[in-house]
A and B are shown apart, each in its own frame.
Chain A
Amino acid sequence: MAKVKIRENYHQARWDEPIIYELSTPGERGILVPQPEREIREEAGDILSKLPENMLRKEKPNLPEISQKHVLAHYLHLSQETLGSNLNNDISQGTCTMKYNPRINEKLATLIHEVHPLQDESTIQGLLSIYYRFEHMLKEISGMDKFTFQPGGGSHAVYTAASIIRAYHESRGELEQRNEVITTIFSHPCDAATPSTAGFKIITLYPNEETGVPDVEALKEAVSERTAALFITNPEDTGIYNPIIDEFVKIVQEAGGLCFYDQANANGMLGIARAREAGFDMCHFNVHKTFGTPHGCSGPGTGALGVRSHLAKFLPVPTVEYDGEKYYLDYDRPESIGKVRGFFGVAPVILKAYCWTMMMGADGLREVAEISVLNNNYLQKKIEAIDGVETWYAEGRRRLEQVRYNWRKLYEETGVGTDDIMRRIGDYGIQHYWTSHHPWVVPEPFTLEPCETYSKADLDEYAAVLERIAEEARKDPDFVKASPHKCASHVIAKPEELNDPSKWALTWRAYLKKHKKEEPSLG
């Protein structure tokens, strides 16, 4: 059995790394650019003199000048000051579905590095077949009838769903009347923000304090002839599954609204329950969560958006089709909402997700779901045994793939809050945990999601570390509040400056203007 160990002696790399401009020496080069051959130069002549005078850049851009070794070293240092999920026990980032991102898939994705999306379709039949095959898999996993992979992230897919809902009601002449979208406070913020961007008013349902999910009465009160759609997650951020979700869907649909299921994180549901059986019109998956592709510090990802057949005509162009002999891109979709991103999505992410799913198969996906909920329930038992932790709502009911816990008791006892513990956990070689989306309905929250790729020893280690920090909070609260102590950097001295227009600095040049008396010498 793997050893359970609290990493007492851990220390993250701390390179005290200068800003890249501070590494610059005039004249140094990081890479040379291929020069045109003599005949080309002679033919072209002084090409810049042929530019309209006002369009010529007068001074060279102030970029740093650094030799290649030093550029490489700088970025290697910065990478070592970043705790990717493949490196650590990343149960921390609940709602984010941080699982192992297989190396082989990265390797295979390089096969399409130099593919141009406008190449003749005959030269990308293999790639298009991967799109088509992966779409088939997602149709089976969700029960939806057609997918688009064009959105580049989860919120982007939810925005696309809102655009489709707008087009649907517009096509029926009801858009002016149907201008309200209903969501819940424990659904992701994008379930409120993206329909709002698309022009809808938002009604937010709050949970019943006992069950943790909104009451059906609250929904009925919100639904009317103005209802355009319901945008909802299930299980919500709390990990609580709403057992009457089909009733919610029915109420909205009977009032003429559509129902969108935010399945950004479907890890506990693969092969267990689908959008279709609950009656949803649409759903989406974050393939960079559930389907094993990396998060890339926050993208590129893909929000795969699936719809039932009555909404398929509104999907963005192009769709990927197969005529029995060849795959092709279909732009001829007159009722399409248009586009939400160039070309046909983030192809390498689709390729990696296809690889991941092919390696799993139906039994493997089911195993992913089962182990992720087993891991979660096992971890929950350990976390709840820590003095100072509570889990609100739905006592006695089991959570599925994640849990929103809280440190309310510990905070009242010690003054150490969830943000303090969030920072401190980094000192044990574990990524800072995710507290909660805003607003914090639960006080001093933290949200853990132990995906299938974590071992029992990982779960035990995680619980042991949190228990240790709770002890520290009681013994030496100031020490925890001053954390982190062993991460790549320390707590910010004046956080208020980040909201002060005279102090904030979004670029180095702005920083020099606002905070340094004189320009530092580049030499």
Chain B
Amino acid sequence: MGKIVYPYIPNSVPEIKEQMLKELGIESVEEIYKEIPKRLRFKGKMNLPEPLLSEYELRRHVEELLANDKDCKKFLSFLGGGTWQHYVPEVCDTINTRDEFLTAYVGAAYADHGKYQAIFEFASMLGELLDFDVVSTPTYDWGMAAGFAVRMAARITGRNQVLIPKTVSPDRLLCIKNLCKPYIEVKLIDYDKDTGLMDLEDLKKNISDKTAAVYFENPSYLGFIESQGEEISKIAHDAGALLVVGVDPSSLGVLAPPSHYGADIACGDLQPLGIHMNAGGGLAGFISSRDEEEFVAEYPTQLWGITETTKEGEYGFGDVSFERTSYASRENAKDFLGTQTALWGITAGVYLALMGPKGMQELGEGIMQRVAYAQKKLNEIPGVKTPLFNSAHFKEFIVNFDDTGKTVAEINRKLLDFEIFGGKDLSKEFPELGNSALYCITEIHMKSDIDRLVDALKKILS
């Protein structure tokens, strides 16, 4: 085989390359690379696998690598715990796979007008869901969004402590803790063992004039709904602290948004809104608040606003308060920004536009109905107890197997034989909850799916 002409490299055609070198008056590209001293050059050829030059070979290779993997379409899944299986409307994929959106980047708002409008509309619709006037451009994920929101609260209040209930997602807590270093102390607050709700006495005991924010999640990581929002908000505000609430937006067709019970900043993840789980790659965070100057001034992300152009009646878009950002002000900026998750933001916008108010309401209500049904059926299995917490739940809930004589790990391993992914094992993260798993039910679960789980568990546990 002669010299390879790579399909992605037009100027790998030898004659063209020659012509360009000639134009530059040089013999080879090495004359350009003379800029790099010999001692810094990599010697020899990189030890990499033989290339798969044709698209066909590549496709075969990747399909074969993944051939034995399973997913939540092949298997019936009850996994949640940070990313959730929802139905993704076809239109969402149609839009986010278009090369126009897929391959754009930082172009200005004239040739990329549509990108700006789509992100602005996403923020507008999410703002309605949250009942807040400011929504960030999408950020990395919920954990990072929560960490950024806490840092915003610390700057706004001039304080350096955040109080978080122990029921927070352990993974998100790791993110928040790292982002809070080295200035902000993270202190954990107890929860009521019967309901899962925040222990308000412990909160009162710990809150002080050092506290910048109280942060909790609703629905919580463990699935229950924290119903003491107003009380928590009052305790926080009375102490001069802000209330930051992490929220699953798929719940907001039926649940009150955090702004209605006193949250100053909301954050969360967009993945439930029309984005595939993508093995965890579907995460996309958001931050939202009231439209007050002292809040807007502390956002780390880009904020895109609507305005008018010189053409009568035409909308234009641009960066609001750009000087805040690290693109403008480097180390003097509010934290940092960079390439985050814009495409998922556009997708979430498409999803909300398709669903409309009624769709979001039906989504939430239908999920809660399925959860109630699943809890009832699971509870009928001897030794199985659910929900563990005496509280209302949204799409996740704890199933306890203490009285079955089997560990969650054993049960989940056996469920694989039934082509079922059982709920996430909580026994390491929350040893005090015993032998428990976090089960997730969404609108994709039909009655037959829930019944299939119950039947399999009965067989495994009998």
Contact = CB atoms under 8 A, between A and B. Distances in A.
A44 to B, nearest CB: 4
Nearest to A64: B353
Contact of B71 (A112, A125, A342): A112
Interface string A292-312: 101111111100000000000
B337 A155 contact: yes
A521 interface: no
Interface stretch (A272-280, A405-413, A465-473): A272-280
Interface string B40-84: 111001111111110100110111011111111101010101110
A52 B392 CA distance: 8
B414 to A, nearest CB: 11
A491 B309 contact: yes
B97 A378 contact: no
A117 B71 CA distance: 10
Interface string A111-124: 11111111110111
A488 to B, nearest CB: 4
Contacts of A74: 353
Nearest to A502: B293
Contacts of A45: 372
Given A115-B277, A351-B62, A455 B338 contact: no
A152 B73 CA distance: 26
B278 A47 contact: no
B159 to A, nearest CB: 17
B103 A84 contact: yes
Contacts of B119: 297
A285 to B, nearest CB: 13
A126 B113 contact: no
A362 B310 contact: no
B412 interface: yes
Given A66-B356, A98-B105, A140-B47, A299 B35 contact: no
Interface string A235-263: 00000010101100000000000000000
Contact of B335 (A52, A193, A241, A338): A193
B311 A490 contact: yes
B369 to A, nearest CB: 4
A351 B346 CA distance: 22
Contact of B133 (A21, A50, A437, A513): A513
Given A96-B106, A358-B49, A491-B110, A54 B227 contact: yes
Interface string A19-34: 1110000001111111
Given A21-B124, A60-B253, A505-B306, A84 B100 contact: yes
Contacts of A346: 278, 280-281
B331 A344 contact: no
Given A63-B353, A273-B40, A507-B123, A124 B69 contact: yes
Nearest to B409: A120
A269 B343 CA distance: 29
Given A126-B67, A153-B339, A432-B111, A56 B256 contact: yes
Interface string A474-490: 00000000101001111
Given A62-B357, A152-B140, A491-B310, A498 B305 contact: yes
Contact of A116 (B17, B77, B305): B77
A397 interface: yes
A490 B8 contact: no
A367 B369 contact: no
B100 A359 contact: no
Contact of B277 (A116, A204, A241): A116
B209 interface: no
Given A189-B327, A299-B342, A492 B36 contact: no
A510 interface: yes
A341 B10 CA distance: 37
B396 interface: no
B338 A153 contact: yes
Given A52-B225, A277-B40, A432-B111, A341 B354 contact: no
Nearest to A295: B105
B309 to A, nearest CB: 4
A298 B104 CA distance: 8
Q: Which of A31, A86, A190 has the most CB of B within 10 A?
A: A31
Contact of A506 (B133, B343, B446): B133
Interface in B1-54: 4, 6, 8-12, 16-17, 19-21, 23-24, 29, 31-37, 39-42, 45-53
Contacts of B123: 506-507
A28 B217 CA distance: 33
Interface string A177-208: 00000000000011011111111001010000
A324 interface: no
B346 A397 contact: no
B331 A193 contact: yes
Nearest to A38: B447
A382 to B, nearest CB: 9
Given A192-B330, A489-B316, A492-B307, A297 B366 contact: no
A477 to B, nearest CB: 17
A494 interface: yes
Contacts of B172: 342
A226 interface: no
Contacts of B284: 300
Given A63-B129, A378-B23, A381-B24, A12 B111 contact: yes
A72 B94 contact: yes
A83 B48 CA distance: 35
A159 interface: yes
Given A101-B102, A358-B52, A374-B29, A111 B66 contact: yes
A426 interface: yes
Q: Which of B171, B229, B307 has the most CB of A within 10 A?
A: B307
A37 B373 CA distance: 11
A54 B256 CA distance: 7
Contacts of B61: 358
Contact of B283 (A16, A44, A343, A489): A343
A68 B354 contact: yes
A377 B35 CA distance: 13
Contacts of A455: 10-11, 16
Contacts of B355: 30-31, 33, 63
A360 to B, nearest CB: 6
Contact of B293 (A61, A337, A343, A501): A501
Given A31-B354, A44-B368, A82-B100, A342 B306 contact: no
A66 to B, nearest CB: 6
B359 interface: yes
Contact of B392 (A55, A120, A192, A507): A55
Nearest to A98: B105
A43 B372 contact: yes
Nearest to B442: A34
Given A82-B101, A507-B123, A452 B331 contact: no
Interface in A424-451: 426, 431-432, 434, 437-438
Q: Which of A30, A107, A373 has the most CB of B within 10 A?
A: A30
Contacts of A83: 100, 104, 107, 111-112
A277 B46 CA distance: 14
A345 B307 contact: no
Contacts of B39: 246, 277
A81 interface: yes
B100 A61 contact: no
B53 A359 contact: yes
A220 interface: no
Contacts of B45: 271, 362-363, 366
Interface string A320-363: 00000000000000000111111111111101001101111111
Nearest to B72: A114
User: Which 3 A-B pairs have CB atoms at the shortest separation, nearest pair first?
Assistant: A155-B338, A361-B51, A343-B280
20 contacts: A31-B89, A44-B370, A55-B392, A58-B260, A63-B129, A71-B354, A75-B350, A84-B99, A104-B58, A118-B424, A120-B416, A130-B65, A140-B48, A153-B338, A197-B335, A295-B103, A296-B101, A453-B10, A492-B308, A507-B135
